[in-house]
Structure 1
Amino acid sequence: MKKIVTLCFLTVLSLSAFAQSGYVLTGLNLMPNTVTTRCDTAINLGFYAQSAPNNAQSSYTLPWIMTGNNFTASQFQFIVNWGDGASNTFNGGVSNTGVVIPVQPTPQHTYPGPGNYTVTVNIMNFNNQTWVSDSVVLTLGSCQLPIYSLVQVDCNNDGTVDSSLNNVPVPLVISGSGQTYTGIMVNNFYQFTGIEPGLYTLGIDPAWLAANNYVIDNIQGPPALTAGGGAQTVVITLNCGNGGGNLSPMCLNGQIFCDQNNDGQFNGNDTPISNAPVVINYGSGSMIAYTNLQGNYSATYNAVQNALTTVSLNGNWLSQHGFPANLMMDTVMNMPCNAGAVPPNVSFPLNCGANNGNPNCYSGYLFCDANNNGVMDAGELALSNAPVTLTATPPNNINSIVVFTDSTGYFTYCGPLANANFVLATVNQNYLSYLGYTANFGVVTIPANQTGNLPINCGGGAGNGCADLWTTVTPWIGYYQNTTASIKLNWGNYGPSSSGTYTLTFTFPAGVTVNTASINTPGYTLAGNTITWNLPNAWSGYNTTDIITFNIPGGLLNGANHYFTSTITPTGNVQDCNPQNNNGALLQVLGNAYDPNDKNVLKPAFYHNNNLFATDEIESGVQDVLTYTIRFQNTGNAPAQNVVVVDTLDADLDWTSLNVIYSSHDMQVVNMGNGILHFEFNGIWLPDSTTNEPESHGEFMYRIQENSNNDNAEITNTAHIFFDWNPAIVTNTTYNVNIATEGVDELSQGIKVYPNPASNLLNVDAKEAFEYEILDLNGRSIQKGTDGSTGQISLENISAGTYVLRLNVGGTSYMSKLIKR
């Protein structure tokens, strides 16, 4: 026994002494952010010494990096246990760091099927017998299949589409590879996740078809859908299942009231609720009915007999009045108006509590009153995103608040307002004048917990006056090389008149490729990197979104600025009354990290040597208009009932010029004063990302003008996002700076900066000592220092791009745009 111990000790000493020479291995790790969930079941490995290039993950499933001391050319042995019972030994050597090690044979493996596999790698340096080990769990055969589907109804199978099932949850079914998966499509989109690779056929849940009296006529699109092959677009046409029966008028009615004794019945002690919005979703469409002074409503709609219709109270209205938005919903079977029977009754008794159990609420509807009767009638246009001022009655009239209407023209504010029992409502005169509208009232008095009407003369209603076409471009998740990126193109018409024919263009960056199969809006032409539609429209108010995918190739410069832009222009005889919102733009920074809760400001752009650069610089002496986008995502594990974004505006912005231009969901905006805005998504019930990733996102955009006299002003902005009662998520801070654009090289008499653009040296001729600071596009300090009266600033450690140069000469600050080549 003693002899054995001695031998072991001598062996360890020998190895220890031998390990001191050459490249001593000390660690083995996967490249950061390596994806360990894959659709296919074949993988390959790459090995590097000390470091790996940024594009290593585009070449190898698992890029491993060895680390150690005293790097020298070395030979290695690689032993890989694949985790499915198989293992291999490989050999290879390298004389340089940061390059892939040639290995024989090629380290690749195909697994027998989907599953979780633990891959273990052991590497030994032959020169000194040092070794390292690492392992990772791979999830293979877990694929995604995004489906964009337009579901349309040709009820009597005559070849004419009667309606489209927009915003109707449709249960999709895919079958193939011995598996069947289901998912509820919302807003014409659903993404299957965690499915096995292979080909699938698409259908609709037969139980849903039967319950809604539909049969599938045809499905236009690929005959088989490939899991992991990118987004698929299909058009599903349904026929009515009653032998091609026609749509016919259906009727229902009900009552909304405060149920004081909780007996579910309306009686003498109960209080009717007027102007409550009742949403009726009848499969082939939807409508909103409003209760009268007795709390009663009635609705007539064209639908299929015996199909199911869902009736609910508007979730935004419910939450604003303190009621749970998820409980007020019922389903009834359609009954023809001429059936000779009592129509279905859907009533909602509400538990209002003592004194309604809520703080005072002041609500109303803003609309184009085409027939000048002071009441919002069917077909009259709701005015969205309009500022309404609510003022407490004298002598407390200094206590006021500004709210903005949602997509239905509805506004509301619940809370103390000088303890008033009624308020005075007015519409911002600048808003009316800009659109050429006049109010049919001076001031409207709204009692607490009642709903008022604010009728507007919009120029005669549909067919007269002007249209307000708008467009925006918004991002979708990240933007990386060797990936498929999704970009949302949004457009519509705020009214008051139909736009008639219009042209919509969408321009994407050179070097990326559009997937034309992802374009859902037909009738387009593609010329170079511009997509153009010439579209007709007879509606006075609408909004549309098309999610278009693009292939982003590899080999591009990380950090490159890619711009996506859109324009919309009426081509008929109708004038656009607000051309300010006819252009949309999105800057995507290649390789940018993805934060689902962020705030962005649309940055001005300029060309230099045929390259497009973004800058935070805005022109001094000009009141620029800044466009902000705030995105949020529910990354929790349960739906978010309410989302509130608190945004504090910079003091250098004109707070009265706020213009909301887009929102993904119904939104109430409350101006709390002192530049504090509340963007409230009450009753949004935003799904969590683990349950429904595509629908877990929300976003909105607004424009606002800066103040005058803004030389050298720096504008920053940060938002706080609240999901229900959880702590705030604080977004990044946006940054803009005002700089004079004339005489960039000569900042002042006797102060010169040259050359600009510069390579490695920037000359500053200031005639006296100066301090300098170089800022990046987010306002972060990159480099700063001091120099003599005539000096040079080294730019060798700064990457190519656009920056802001700040000089302090004799106590005076100067700013200039700086381009590093």
Structure 2
Amino acid sequence: GWADYDLDGDLDLYIVNNGNNKNFLFTNKGGNLKNSACLSFTGNQSNAAAIGTKIYIKANVYGNDIWQYREIAAQTGGGVSAQNNLVQHIGLGNANVIDSLIILWPSGLIQTETNVAVDNCLSILEKGGTTISGIAFNDLNGNCQIDNGEAVLSNMEITIEPGGQRVYTDQNGLYQITLPRGKYTIAQNNSTNWMSNCGGSPQIHEVEITNRSRNQILSGFNFSNISTGLCNSSDLSVTGATTALRVGFASMLAIKVENNGTLPGTNVELVVDFGSDILPTSSTIPWTSNIGTVYRWSLADIAIGESYTIYVSTMIDANATIGDTTRVGLAIGSLEKDCDLSDNIFEETGILVGAIDPNDILVSPEGTITSDEVLQYKIRFQNVGNTAVKRVVIKDELPNTLDLSTLELGSASHSFRFHIEDDRTLIWEFENINLPDSTTNELASNGFVSFRIKPASNLANGTAINNHGVIYFDFSEAVNTNIVQNIIEDELPGKGGTLNIFPNPAYKQANFSINPRDLSLKQVEIQSIAIFNSLGQLVHEARGLEQFRYQINDLQLTSGYYVVKVLGVDNNEYTGRMIVQ
């Protein structure tokens, strides 16, 4: 059997003889010993000895990316009397780090480690073990139990300690996370409109996972919620994201709609202006009507806590110009009051491309931003291999220059499980995605995730915000995306506020005013206004106003998406977006 008997980093040989024959130990004196690593494995869902585990190791050895393979097996000593040590030893030549370590556990779990240090022994515990799950819901009768007719709540953040892991409830109000043996405290973080409450106190669950509960699914760790009282109506929101916009090719727009309010949204209307270069061809929920590039969905009611995604298949105009910027404007509204109109309108921007790097990260706006702007990130992926992919994992370790408390998940191309590890690492898991390769089905081989987040507070002018993602396809090596960068450059302190447009979407009338950023400041008068359509053409202009509110009573604009630019008497420009129905 082979083992590192003297713990000097190389393998020694022990030979066992039967009968009265002596056994022999041959020690390896090292000689020309290079870098190496030793890895020991402990199963959690799998058997404790990790028998049957397959390990793929990638490192750059003498300038070449080299993959090595190991498998932990029983009876590997050449006979019934011997067994190799289960610790795996890997020679690495001049490599200073293991770039990718992919572990296929017997349970079926695929675990990936990156940037593993060499010349030491690493103990690796199989992640997961027991799945904990529960539901967040609106506890109408206050009995701390979910009953028929009580709405489930999506996008509620659940925290697991120790470890600082976070998961979010899905469209069914369900959260779930797989944890190894240990004791845990599970709590819900309150949102703006909902707070955990059972008998007058927040619910907290204490969970202990033992050997007896290993590999089980433990459910019922629910969170009953009541309204915080800050919102007594619906709170509709919409986001959208597209796959790559390749000229002459098919694409897809995913539209996520949700109601985070405390009352249902009734007679909900969704309006989308696709612009001149994107042609919708079909939708998982058919649109009700369209005029030119503007498409309308009558969505009826959206229940309390309800969230779902509409997938729209599109075609990019073959005559469009590569390099042009496209803008898709989305707006959602109903006849009732909405608690927060700021998230009822959304703009998805994209660049028309030819050939592209299919695995990348995008940010909008690009370049220089102010410290209070919201950044919209999108991580795109595509299977450019030669066979279907069963599982995709995306990781994004957020820099400290982003405020994690402002994170909002956006639309995605496929259903996923999401959680946060190590305080700041966002993880999307697409299990059983069955993503075809690009030669079999080019459109279906694409996917993406998206999210919104604000910069951290008190960042100095000139601070760089760098972000990138890592994409894993089955057990292939990790794919690192490009790095996107924003630079903080706050506007002069004299700027008085933000542009308010009401109603939005607009029909025959629209009102414009500058809302003070600080209520203690005097409202800024409007000096001039200019409205541009989705092609950038000026369609309305007024000058010499010097008034606090500008109103258009007979809105002579066709249905579509518009950018509004207002100049205040403080000589600052204020920009907003408007949908005209």
1:455 aligns with 2:239: no
Q: Find the counterpart in structure 1 of residue 368 from structure 2.
A: 617
Name the amino acid aligned to 1:567. A
Q: Find the counterpart in structure 2 of residue 568 from structure 1.
A: 332
Q: How far apart are the structure 2 equivalents of 1:683 and 1:485? A: 24
Name the amino acid aligned to 1:500. T
Instruction: Find the residue that maps to 1:385 and give its secondary structure.
Output: coil
Deviation at 1:722, TM superposition (A): 0.9
Q: How far apart are the structure 1 equivalents of 2:293 and 2:179? A: 51
Which of 402, 422, 428 aligns to 1:653? It is 402
Distance 1:665 1:532, change over 3 A: closer
Q: How far apart are the structure 2 equivalents of 1:626 and 1:586? A: 12
Q: Find the counterpart in structure 1 of residue 99 from structure 2.
A: none
Instruction: Find the residue that maps to 2:402 and give its secondary structure.
Output: coil
Name the amino acid aligned to 2:481. T
Q: Find the counterpart in structure 2 of residue 583 from structure 1.
A: 345
Query: Aligned runs of 1:52-451 on 2, under 5 Å?
Result: 359-392=129-162, 399-416=163-180, 420=182, 422-429=183-190, 431=191, 434-440=192-198, 441-448=202-209, 449=216, 450-451=218-219
Q: Find the counterpart in structure 2 of residue 733 from structure 1.
A: 483
Name the amino acid aligned to 2:239. T
Distance 1:451 1:600, change over 3 A: same
**1:518-558 deviation per Cα after TM superposition (whole angstroms, max 9, x unaligned):** 796242241x543344542254424242425355263x654
Q: How far apart are the structure 2 equivalents of 1:518 and 1:401? A: 36
Which of 254, 265, 268 aligns to 1:499? It is 265
Q: Do the aligned residues in 2 keep the contact of 1:469 with 1:581 (CA within 8 Å)?
A: yes
Instruction: Find the residue that maps to 2:482 and give its secondary structure.
Output: coil
Deviation at 1:485, TM superposition (A): 5.0
Q: Do the aligned residues in 2 keep the contact of 1:493 with 1:499 (CA within 8 Å)?
A: no
Query: Aligned runs of 1:639-718 on 2, under 5 Å?
Result: 639-710=388-459, 711-718=461-468
Q: Do the aligned residues in 1 keep the contact of 2:203 with 2:223 (CA within 8 Å)?
A: no
Deviation at 1:515, TM superposition (A): 5.6
- Root-mean-square deviation (Å): 3.6
Q: Do the aligned residues in 1 keep the contact of 2:171 with 2:307 (CA within 8 Å)?
A: no
Q: Do the aligned residues in 1 keep the contact of 2:254 with 2:412 (CA within 8 Å)?
A: no
Distance 1:390 1:542, change over 3 A: closer
Q: How far apart are the structure 1 equivalents of 2:427 and 2:269? A: 35
Distance 1:665 1:579, change over 3 A: farther
Deviation at 1:487, TM superposition (A): 4.4
Distance 1:323 1:508, change over 3 A: same
Gaps of 5+ in 1: 1-257, 259-320, 326-355, 393-398, 604-614, 745-821
Distance 1:376 1:636, change over 3 A: farther
Name the amino acid aligned to 1:724. D
Q: Do the aligned residues in 2 keep the contact of 1:502 with 1:534 (CA within 8 Å)?
A: yes
Distance 1:357 1:592, change over 3 A: closer
Bigger mean CA deviation after superposition, 530-539 or 514-523: 514-523
Distance 1:534 1:505, change over 3 A: same
Q: Do the aligned residues in 2 keep the contact of 1:363 with 1:446 (CA within 8 Å)?
A: no
Identity %: 26
Q: Find the counterpart in structure 1 of residue 234 from structure 2.
A: 467
Deviation at 1:391, TM superposition (A): 1.6
Deviation at 1:357, TM superposition (A): 11
Instruction: Find the residue that maps to 2:219 and give its secondary structure.
Output: strand
Which of 278, 294, 301 aligns to 1:530? It is 294
1:508 aligns with 2:267: no
Deviation at 1:380, TM superposition (A): 3.8
Deviation at 1:493, TM superposition (A): 2.2
Name the amino acid aligned to 2:288. G
**1:707-744 deviation per Cα after TM superposition (whole angstroms, max 9, x unaligned):** 12221111111100112222111112222112244499
Q: How far apart are the structure 2 equivalents of 1:424 and 1:413? A: 13
Q: How far apart are the structure 2 equivalents of 1:486 and 1:569? A: 26
Distance 1:373 1:519, change over 3 A: closer
Distance 1:641 1:492, change over 3 A: same
Deviation at 1:647, TM superposition (A): 0.6
Name the amino acid aligned to 1:390. I
Distance 1:423 1:493, change over 3 A: same
Name the amino acid aligned to 1:512. D
Distance 1:465 1:445, change over 3 A: farther
Name the amino acid aligned to 1:359. G
Distance 1:377 1:632, change over 3 A: farther
Distance 1:502 1:686, change over 3 A: same
Q: How far apart are the structure 1 equivalents of 2:373 and 2:333? A: 22
Distance 1:726 1:494, change over 3 A: farther
Instruction: Find the residue that maps to 1:502 and give its secondary structure.
Output: strand
Q: How far apart are the structure 2 equivalents of 1:414 and 1:705? A: 29
Q: How far apart are the structure 1 equivalents of 2:409 and 2:487? A: 23
Distance 1:360 1:724, change over 3 A: same
Name the amino acid aligned to 2:225. N
Bigger mean CA deviation after superposition, 707-716 or 582-591: 582-591
Deviation at 1:659, TM superposition (A): 1.8
Bigger mean CA deviation after superposition, 560-569 or 629-638: 629-638
1:600 aligns with 2:362: yes
Higher relative contact order (Cα pairs below 8 Å, separated by 6+ residues): 2
Distance 1:597 1:407, change over 3 A: farther
Q: Find the counterpart in structure 2 of residue 76 from structure 1.
A: none
Gaps of 5+ in 2: 1-44, 46-104, 110-125, 210-215, 495-581
Distance 1:598 1:380, change over 3 A: farther
Q: Do the aligned residues in 1 keep the contact of 2:415 with 2:430 (CA within 8 Å)?
A: yes
Q: Find the counterpart in structure 1 of residue 53 from structure 2.
A: none
Q: Find the counterpart in structure 1 of residue 541 from structure 2.
A: none
Name the amino acid aligned to 2:331. T
Q: Find the counterpart in structure 1 of residue 574 from structure 2.
A: none
Q: Find the counterpart in structure 1 of residue 314 from structure 2.
A: 549
Q: Do the aligned residues in 2 keep the contact of 1:403 with 1:671 (CA within 8 Å)?
A: yes
Instruction: Find the residue that maps to 1:654 and give its secondary structure.
Output: strand
1:721 aligns with 2:471: yes
Deviation at 1:500, TM superposition (A): 0.4
Q: How far apart are the structure 1 equivalents of 2:284 and 2:434? A: 28
Q: Do the aligned residues in 2 keep the contact of 1:525 with 1:532 (CA within 8 Å)?
A: yes
Deviation at 1:601, TM superposition (A): 1.4
Q: Find the counterpart in structure 1 of residue 245 from structure 2.
A: 478
Distance 1:370 1:545, change over 3 A: same
Q: How far apart are the structure 2 equivalents of 1:522 and 1:706? A: 36
Instruction: Find the residue that maps to 1:567 and give its secondary structure.
Output: strand
Deviation at 1:378, TM superposition (A): 4.8
Name the amino acid aligned to 1:581. D
Instruction: Find the residue that maps to 1:414 and give its secondary structure.
Output: strand
Deviation at 1:324, TM superposition (A): 5.9
Q: How far apart are the structure 1 equivalents of 2:324 and 2:376? A: 21
